[in-house]
Amino acid sequence: MWAALQHAEWVTILATSRWLYGLVSVVHYVALFSCIGTIVLLDLRILGVAERNQALPAFAEQLRPWTWIGAGAAVISGFLLFATEAADYAAVTPFHVKMLIVALALISALAIEWRVPKWNRAPVIPVTAKFLALISIALWLGAVLAAVEIGPLTGLG
């Protein structure tokens, strides 16, 4: 299945064109920096170390579009980059680890977004919220680490 994807005509066009591949890479980097940066900022706000002058739901709302547009663009561009070496990526453990951590990190980000209005009604931000925010930060740090280790460990990318 992954080999078929890798050898699909549109994928070979992407893989052999430096300009197209570069363009998709630029989208991937810009999107993931926006996505991860804004998620971690919200986590830091929940932990009480960023933007304390701004109410939590308002700050979450301000960042939300950039988090999720970034996430969508990063997933699509990431899939395109994956497709160019699909069979190879699908076969190696570091890539599986990266995908697992990214999935968990996105789920934690969704959970946090969903709970923000409730946490705001409490007199102080609950400990569970701070705990989730810490987990979210750790997951994103892990996701980026897994991503940069794929090259050295497997020779891919």
Partner 1 sequence: MHDAVLACSRWLENTPWGVTVRDSAWMSPVIQWMHFVGLSMWLGTTFSVDLRLMGVGKRRQTAAELSNGLFAWNWIGFGVAVLGGFLSFSAEATTYVQNTGFCLKLAVLTPVALIWHVVVQKNIGVWTRTEQSSAIGKRAGLIEFLLWISVVAASVAFLLTNAVTHP
Q: Cβ closer to partner 1: 4 or 149?
A: 149
Task: Name the one range near partner 1 by CB under 8 A: 4-12, 99-107, 123-131, 136-144.
Answer: 136-144
Q: Is 95 in the site for partner 1 (CB under 8 A)?
A: no
Neighbours of 136 (CB within 10 A): 23
Q: Which of 15, 99, 125, 144 binds partner 1 (CB under 8 A)?
A: 144
Cα–Cα distance, 28 to 114 (Å, whole number): 26
Cα–Cα distance, 47 to 18 (Å, whole number): 43
Q: Is 108 in the site for partner 1 (CB under 8 A)?
A: no
Contact (Cβ atoms closer than 8 angstroms) between residue 98 and residue 146: yes
| Residue that has been written with the tokens 């996430």 in this structure | 71
**Residue 71, CA distances (Å) to 5, 24, 37, 52, 156 in order:** 23, 14, 11, 25, 23
- Quote the distance between the C-alpha of residue 142 and its chain's center: 11
Task: Name the one range near partner 1 by CB under 8 A: 9-17, 44-52, 78-86, 125-133.
Answer: 44-52
Q: Which of 13, 22, 103, 131 binds partner 1 (CB under 8 A)?
A: 22
Q: Cβ closer to partner 1: 117 or 151?
A: 151
Binding residues for partner 1, per CB under 8 A? Answer: 18, 21-22, 25-26, 29-30, 32-34, 36-38, 40-41, 44, 50-51, 53-54, 58-59, 61-66, 140-141, 144-145, 147-149, 151-152
